[in-house]
Amino acid sequence: MQTGTSSKKNAVVIGAGFAGLAGAAHLARDGWDVTILEKNDRIGGRARLWETKGYTFDMGPSWYLMPEVFERFFDSFGEKREDYYQLQRLDPAYRVFFEGQDSVDVPSDLSAVRRLFADLEIGGDETLGRYLDEAAYKYDTAMSDFLYRDYEKVSDFFDRRLMTEGLKLHVFRKLDAHVRRYFKDHRARKILEYAMVFLGSSPTNAPALYSLMSHVDLNLGVWFPKGGMGEAALGFARLAEKQGVKILTGREATRIVARDGRVVGVETVSQGASKGGADGLPDEADYHQADVVLNTADYHWVETKLIEPVYRSYSRRYWKKRVVAPSMFLAYLGIDGSLPELSHHNLYFSKDWDAHFHTIFNRPSWPENPCYYLSRITATQKDMAPKGKENIFLLVPVAPGLIDTDDVREAYFDSVIAHVRGTTGVDLTKGMEVKRIFSHRDFTGDYNAMQGTALSLSHTLFQTAVFRPGRRSRRLSNLYHSGQYTHPGVGVPMVVIAAELAAKAIQADWSGHHHETAPEVT
């Protein structure tokens, strides 16, 4: 059976994460007959839900940042976000544990945040005010001029406007060096820099432009969807289906079929199905005709596994030279008992956190004194666990490509749990009735992730904007890419923006406004 038999042109979207759901919704609104092919049995991509023994776990993203991006998405369809999922503002926004020092709560009220910074160092409240004013300027400029803008060639990035604003936005300065101009206390600096981990970079290597994340964090506030991030993904799916999108789960793309420089369809394998009939051709039910394909799955995997070599945009040398973002060592834990010592979001920072970053980007190894993130989602979402029990999500950023055997992960789990007990006083082994570890081999197995990365490519200067992999294929005129590999990059808000840009590119090209082919990158 072929999908998309109406008179409309057929768009096939690979992947039902936030990028795929958003991109499909935009295309369907614009008149395409859209089918999403999702490898896994649940929608949401990395943001899908996992349910067991009365617990509901968010499997991936756990921070809801840049709320205006989500509002803009629903507004573009004449819809209201609150009709699809509800939000609540977290207070405190998060709790931070510092090695050898008292923990602090970062409040939701900005005046209280300023008082906190005044306690961290003399004059910290006034310094924070100046820092956040600058961060707000960067954020507003980025939102209005850069994030929702596409880049196809180097001259698009280094134009007069960007060069003028880029100096003000500190594109060419490193974040850690920038923050040190303002704050001496390491605790203040870490609160302002920690978000880089979730963008796949380190503060010493990320452009200082990303200080705008402090505006997102402290000015805009930390919000959370009721029912978890997976519930927000389900909201995106409901909107996509309202636009007419057909979502097929359990359909793994195995080949992008191309002829004469154009994609003609996508072959898939259904769960439990074979890869083809006796004649070697794809089973009828596993072929999806396409006038356009929008890939939101792992870019490297699609380039190296699904496309014939003659049609690949990037060489093996190109991929080998990329700075790959961290993987994540994750544990989903169900605890019989109460853990009031933890807030909804909890961060632990070792005194020498540079040593941890070193094990990610310079000397790949399992960190011995790791920084980590703990989510106690049941602090605000009681329905995510049975009554009287806690839903815990543990995350340690680690280097991609590490050996991830059962013995290695169990030993590291025991090490991290002991570390948590020593640094926070919380014993996560007490009352543990659910335990699931998820790391490199799972990111590869479930998402086809390059080197088991959780976040695609790191946000270095030369992996920003035009220097990220291109939205348009260089070899196939109707193959497009979206998601965290493409501009604007890593994070749920970023891939929602990327989906809008991809849909606009498809519409522009289909309307006859063809793009200029970018130069070959090797």
Place of tokens 């180097």: 154
N-term to C-term CA, the chain: 39
Structure tokens at 341: 């010592």
Same domain, 149 and 208: yes
Is residue 89 situated within a structural domain? no
Same domain, 364 and 444: yes
Same domain, 337 and 274: no
d(CA 328, CA 412): 12
Same domain, 67 and 126: no
Same domain, 66 and 19: yes
Same domain, 314 and 463: yes
pLDDT (tens, 9 = 90+) of the chain, 522 residues, equals 444 445 679 999 999 999 999 999 999 999 999 999 999 999 999 999 999 999 999 999 999 999 999 999 999 999 999 999 999 999 999 999 999 999 999 999 999 999 999 999 999 999 999 999 999 999 998 898 788 888 766 655 555 555 666 666 777 789 999 999 999 999 999 999 999 888 888 999 888 888 999 999 999 999 999 999 999 999 999 999 999 999 999 999 999 999 999 999 999 998 654 444 444 444 445 899 999 999 999 999 999 999 999 999 999 999 999 999 999 999 999 999 999 999 999 999 999 999 999 999 999 999 999 999 999 999 999 999 999 999 999 999 999 999 999 999 999 999 999 999 999 999 999 999 999 999 999 999 999 999 999 999 998 888 888 889 999 999 999 999 999 999 999 999 999 999 999 999 999 999 864 433 333 333
DSSP bridge pairs for 51: 56
Strands 10-14 and 33-37: parallel
* Residues contacting 341, CB < 8 A, separation 6+: 424, 425, 426
Same domain, 314 and 344: no
Domain boundary, last residue among 213, 248, 271: 213
Is residue 520 situated within a structural domain? no
User: The CATH number of the domain where 52 resides is what?
Assistant: 3.50.50.60
Same domain, 446 and 341: yes
Is residue 16 situated within a structural domain? yes
What confidence score (pLDDT) does residue 1 get?
Answer: 44
Question: How many domains are contained in the chain?
Answer: 3
Same domain, 341 and 398: yes
Is residue 309 situated within a structural domain? yes
d(CA 493, CA 489): 9
Is residue 318 situated within a structural domain? yes
Q: SS3 for 512? A: coil
Is residue 92 situated within a structural domain? no
Same domain, 276 and 333: no
User: The CATH number of the domain where 366 resides is what?
Assistant: 3.90.660.20
Q: SS3 for 334? A: strand
Is residue 488 situated within a structural domain? yes
Same domain, 461 and 313: yes
Strands 33-37 and 87-89: unpaired
Q: SS3 for 168? A: helix
Domain boundary, last residue among 165, 180, 213: 213
Structure tokens at 395: 């995350």
What confidence score (pLDDT) does residue 314 get?
Answer: 96
Is residue 517 situated within a structural domain? no
> 452 with 469: CB under 8 angstroms?
no
The domain in which residue 147 lies consists of 114-213
Domain boundary, last residue among 450, 479, 494: 450
d(CA 62, CA 284): 39
Q: Which amino acid is at 437?
A: I
Same domain, 296 and 340: no
